[in-house]
A and B are shown apart, each in its own frame.
Chain A
Amino acid sequence: MVTQQEAGPRTVPGPALPRPHARRNAAYPYGLYLPAAVVYLVIFLVPTAMAFYFALTRWTLFDSTFVGLDNFRDFFAEQNLRAGFANTLVYAVLTSGLKVVFGLLLGVLLTSRLRLRGFLRSVVFFPVLVSTVAVGITFSALLRPDTGLVDKTLAVVGIDGPDWLGDAGTALLSVALVDVWKGVGLATVIYIAGIMSIPRDYYQAVAVDGGGAWHRFRHVTLPLSWPATYSVIILSLIGGLRSFDLIWTMTRGGPGFTSDTIASIIYKQYQAGFFGLSTAGNVILFVVVTAVVVPLNRFLAKRQVTS
């Protein structure tokens, strides 16, 4: 069909038709990029580029004086700010690690022949859709010392629960656990898709070789759900490094500055009117995210090909 119709006009003398290659591309004009490109360029790329300049200035939004690397020096000289840097990394690694573990476990559980599978899938996924601030406020109440449900439950079995959010040692950890509670549904869904795309034959092969449930998991599910693991790690690391709203709602970076992350410092400095310092925080966050995610992405992608 196609060739017949195309052959038609060629017999007629006239201007040469454009090369098929060019004609093919003409159907996909770059103009379709235009709306997306304009918004993205103006609202996202321009400020990102300007951040590298404003981070080097003392800045009131109207006036800026160039101060060189002073903001960065301040950032790393002040202990609170340095702690925020470390907290960000701990938080991101912790949340993404736990999301991999629990997401995989729930994924295996929810692809098994459970009768309540559908219901459980919905229950686990729903927190993903609820606003982070609402989740943060709810868990702040549940984690209160003495009256909160968590400590009351622990008291029943004779454990004197800590002040989860008020104690410098546990605040960041508590917020990270709530983050996992909220986000594990997404990891689970990704794992469910990954596990369901594994061909049944492999499981049959294990059965023929006399392997049990553990063998099925260890030698088939775990290695072959690698693409899912890869997605979960990358997505939750990016989310974890940039995380702000949950930390802000639950602890405001406190007690003291013990649960501050780079993102909450950016907000605090902005509120205090230190726009240059806030933007320096942004540049640091940018560098941290890129330095963690880009090499990891390359490393994981390489493993994915060979496995």
Chain B
Amino acid sequence: MSQLPAPVSLPIITPEEVSREAAPRLPRWLKRNVPKGNSNHFTANLLEELRLETVCDNAKCPNRMECYSQKTATFMILGNVCTRPCGFCAVAKGKTQQVELDEPDRLAEASARLGLAHVVITSVTRDDLDDGGAEHFYRCVLAVRERTGAAVEVLTPDFLGKPGAIERVVASRPEVFNHNTETVPRLYREVRGRKSDYRWTLELLRRVKELDPTIKTKSGLMLGLGELRDEVLDTLADLRDVGCDLLTLGQYLQPSPEHLPVVRYLPPEEFDELGLAARRMGFAQVASGPFVRSSYHAREMAE
């Protein structure tokens, strides 16, 4: 750590201060430019025509204007209702939908018509399914690859540790296997809910690497939820210990007043510093910045 630049001061914030500072005014670096033209409508219309969901829309991603205008999106399979009430996430929770067996074909069709060379597939968490949705992931990866020849990145839930689930997704041989850590261990239950377990996140990433070392593993954290700098660095060290190759660090933004408040907006230079620290820890690629999300510029990272 002694080779790193002096860390940006990161104060410990008390619960009272968190409450007082809830939903502070958005700093200028988190504002987007007004989009020019409406080229993003092509992507939005195609998704509607093919009845496909994206995490971009469902999670209210702040980058979706940019991504849609570049004819890219992160497809969200297995419906748009999630079985876990994570405090940070805007995806709807409640009664899940029936798995649509033609979804892999529609996903492949969209990927082909968008001309994608790198397709990112994520899903809602489906703890209600026997395999957590692993078989559907498998079918989607194969359908996209067969139709387009594109590289495929999966961003999966933890499958609740269901036997055989990770193995089934790995059998589809995605180029990148992403599973987000989201936050540091101290905040895990508060942020991700009581069913989520930090140790299982690490175990999932380790297991993927063990099953197929040629698959790049990837993870990401949202910052600004009250974590301390040393906690972040310890978490990154844990990820490196399980062989994680790619890392994303981005600013948490509160999707609505009902979600967890933002404790702090990290300035861009602090993201730069953490990104540098992560590279020195051995991550092959690191994307660190206020607007970075787990699949933001995913193709460039994977290459």
Do A and B pair up? The answer is no
